[in-house]
Structure formats: C-alpha cells, structure tokens
Amino acid sequence: MASEGAGTGQDLVRSFESLSAEFAAEISGLHSESEIRLAQSRYLGKKGRATELMKLLGRIPSADRPAVGAAANRAREAIEGLVEGRLASLAEAVLTADLSRSVDVTLPGRGRRAGTLHPLTRVRMEIEQIFHAMGFEVRTGPLIETEWNNFDALNTPADHPARDMQDTFFVEGGRILRSHTSPVQVRTMLAGPPPVKIIAPGNVFRRDDDATHTPMFPQCEGLHVDKNVSFEDLKATLIVFVQRFFGHHTDIRLRPSFFPFTEPSAEVDASCFLCQGKPPARSTCRLCKGTGWLEIGGSGMVHPNVFKAVGYDKYDVTGFAFGMGLSRMAMLKYGVTDLRLFYENDLRFLQQFPTG
Ligand code: 2NL
C-alpha cells in the first residue's frame, strides 16, 4: 500500500490525497447502494484504509500532524461526497427507467364506479315488488316452448294468424320461441290445482322489427285463479298497481277488446300522470297527446277453454289475467321517446338511470 512506508508528514498527506481518487475509481464500477456502502466502509470504517493511515500519525514529527489531520478530513469529506453523489445518480437512473416503461407509474388510479341497473330491469323489479305485495308469486319459464303451451292451451287454434311463420319464430324440433309469457301460467296450472296467483315477467319473441317493435321484448303477465275471482278483483288489482307504479292519483280505464284467451277482454289505460288527464294541460300534453290516457296493456277473465286445456273445472273456479310490455312501461315512466335506446347499451343513456 502507498501508505505503508510513510515516514514523513508529506508522504502521509499524499497518501490521503490519493485515497479519494482511488475510491472514486473503485466505485465507478459499482451499481448498487449496498456495494457502494461496503466500499465506503473499506475506506472510512473501523478497519478502513483511512483509519489505518491515521494510525501512522504517531510516527511523524508533531509539527507535520496538523497538515496530515487536515488532509485526512479532506479525504473523508471527498469520499462521503462521492458516495452521496453516486447514490443520487443511481436513484435518478432507477426513476428514469421507471418513467420510460410503457406503464406510467405516476398516473393516478382510475377508481371503480358501481354499475347501474338497466331501466328495463328496474321497471321489472318494481312491478315484481308491487304485485308481490298484493300476494302474487313471481314465476319464470323457458324461452323455447311447445306450440301447445304457447298457443293451443290458450284457445289459439292452428289457423289463428298469430301462428303464422311471419308472426312467430319456429325452431328445430317443432318448438317455438314463446310469443308471450302465458306458457309460464299454463305450466303453473298444469303443475297443480288452484288457487294460482302469479306474475310471469320475461323476454318474448315476435317476428317484428321496426321503429316501434323489436323482435325480442320483455313483458309481464299476471294470473289469478280461485273460487269467486271477479272482474271487480281485476279492476281493483290494476288500480292498486297503476297507483303504486305511476302515482297515487292515477286512475284506470278499461276498453272492450278481444284476446283469444280471455272473455270478456279489455285494453287497460292509465290516466296520464303528467297532465293528470285534466284540461287545459291535457290538450298540449306530450305524453298522452291530449287524450288524457296512456295505453299500458291488456286484460280479461280467463276463457273457459283455457281452464279446460289445463284440467281446471270452469264451474269451480274463475280467474283474471293481464299482460303489459315492459319497454312501454319504462318509456312512459321515464319519458323515453325512442325504443331503440333500451337496446343500444349507450352509457350516456344508461347512466341516466342511477340505482340506489
Ligand atoms: C297485452 C295483452 C294479455 C293475458 C295477457 C293470459 C294468460 C293466461 C290466460 C289468460 Cl294463462 N290470459 N294473459 C290476458 C289478457 C291480455 O296481454 O296486450 N299484453 C301486452
């Protein structure tokens, strides 16, 4: 070692001066903090080279000692400065490497937003709750049905126009996509004796596709069969429903109509909840178009032929049934003017129906 033979103060001063240069050379090839710290202790530690050099201080003339002490301090400061500088540039290099990756590690997190229910789902759940509170059970069934469950059992004979290829989807094996949820009620009646008090929400299919019809749409039907179920019970049930769904001032209007599976049959209108059906607001109402009424579905007393088909005694029980389209209910309730919005899954539309 250069310090070994140090006899004079000047030799020792030179040894200290070359120490920091040697140290600089040594750490220039090191690339981790632990290696650099280790090198630092080899020079400045208890058994380090600077400490060994200091031990020679006793062998030199005392007049030279202050100069050697000053040289030792300069060497220590220089080495410490080199360590700090090297560690800082190492940290800088690590940061630069991080930032140059394709992932920007400094970007704030995106966060998670809870989803919302689709407006058609919301309307279905609300209808389920209202009828459940009136004692109706919620039942579902398969989308692919037999022609018998979908048509024959419902007093809809083979020559009825609804059974045309143009109006119904026929699938392989003689089955069809159900055109209403009535087969759910048929299955329920076939499965057990009266009473039956159910609603059947679900998707149905018709060969229709234009501005106001989609080939698939959700509907909800209801059926109440028991001894002495009357048309009055139907009216009362519908009134409670529209009042809970549209608002407690709502009234209903029943217009004579025809369905193969009910007799008598009626179209169901709800009084317009926007203008309350009252003039003069009514004359300009954008919702009911001045009529004061909103068409919401159909209804009637279950046809005796339906009871015959499912094996119920038409002299023992009576029943009412009704059906409504959920898209129409959602459009009326939320003021949606284009049916297609329900099926485009545009978040700008869907986010207008917050859940909670
Ligand atoms: C409408 C009309 C209606 C029914 C559905 C029904 C079911 C059985 C027996 C008798 Cl199992 N009827 N369902 C009755 C009358 C009308 O729906 O315009 N729906 C959107």
- Whether ligand 1 lies within 6 angstroms of the CB of 300 is answered as yes
The CA 152 to ligand 1 mean position distance, Å, reads: 14
What 3-state class would DSSP assign to 59? helix
Residues contacting 162, CB < 8 A, separation 6+: 151, 156, 168, 179
pLDDT of 161: 83
- Whether ligand 1 lies within 6 angstroms of the CB of 297 is answered as yes
pLDDT of 356: 62
The one-character DSSP state at 353 is S
- Whether ligand 1 lies within 6 angstroms of the CB of 200 is answered as no
Alpha carbon nearest to ligand 1 atom 20, residue? 324
Which residues does residue 222 pair with via DSSP β-bridges, in sequence order?
Answer: 199, 322
- Whether ligand 1 lies within 6 angstroms of the CB of 71 is answered as no
The CA 27 to ligand 1 mean position distance, Å, reads: 88
pLDDT of 274: 87
Atom of ligand 1 nearest to the CA of 153: 11
Residues contacting 32, CB < 8 A, separation 6+: 90
Cβ burial, residue 302 (10 Å; 0-12/13-18/19+): buried
Of 52, 51, 53, 65, the residue nearest 9 (C-alpha): 65
The CA 318 to ligand 1 mean position distance, Å, reads: 15
Alpha carbon nearest to ligand 1 atom 8, residue? 182
- Torsion, Cα 229 308 128 201, to 10 degrees, reads -160
- Whether ligand 1 lies within 6 angstroms of the CB of 312 is answered as no
Alpha carbon nearest to ligand 1 atom 19, residue? 323
- Whether ligand 1 lies within 6 angstroms of the CB of 329 is answered as no
Global pTM reads: 0.71
What 3-state class would DSSP assign to 338? coil
Atom of ligand 1 nearest to the CA of 185: 11
Of 219, 185, 222, 221, the residue nearest 203 (C-alpha): 219
pLDDT of 219: 97
- Whether ligand 1 lies within 6 angstroms of the CB of 306 is answered as yes
Q: What is the pLDDT tens value at each position of the chain, 356 positions in all?
A: 444 444 688 888 999 999 989 999 999 888 889 999 999 999 999 998 989 988 888 888 888 889 899 999 999 999 999 999 999 999 998 889 888 888 777 888 888 878 889 999 999 999 999 999 999 999 999 999 999 999 999 999 889 887 887 889 999 999 999 999 999 999 999 999 999 999 999 999 999 888 788 999 999 999 999 999 999 999 999 999 999 999 999 999 999 999 999 999 999 999 998 898 899 999 999 888 999 999 999 999 999 999 999 999 999 999 999 999 999 999 999 989 898 999 999 999 999 988 76
Alpha carbon nearest to ligand 1 atom 4, residue? 322
- Cα distances from 153 to residues 174, 182, 271, in angstroms, run 16, 10, 33
Alpha carbon nearest to ligand 1 atom 15, residue? 299
- Look at the block and give the residue holding tokens 């003339």: 61
Alpha carbon nearest to ligand 1 atom 7, residue? 182
The CA 72 to ligand 1 mean position distance, Å, reads: 103
Distance CA 277, CA 283 (A): 9
- Whether ligand 1 lies within 6 angstroms of the CB of 296 is answered as no
The CA 265 to ligand 1 mean position distance, Å, reads: 9
pLDDT of 246: 95
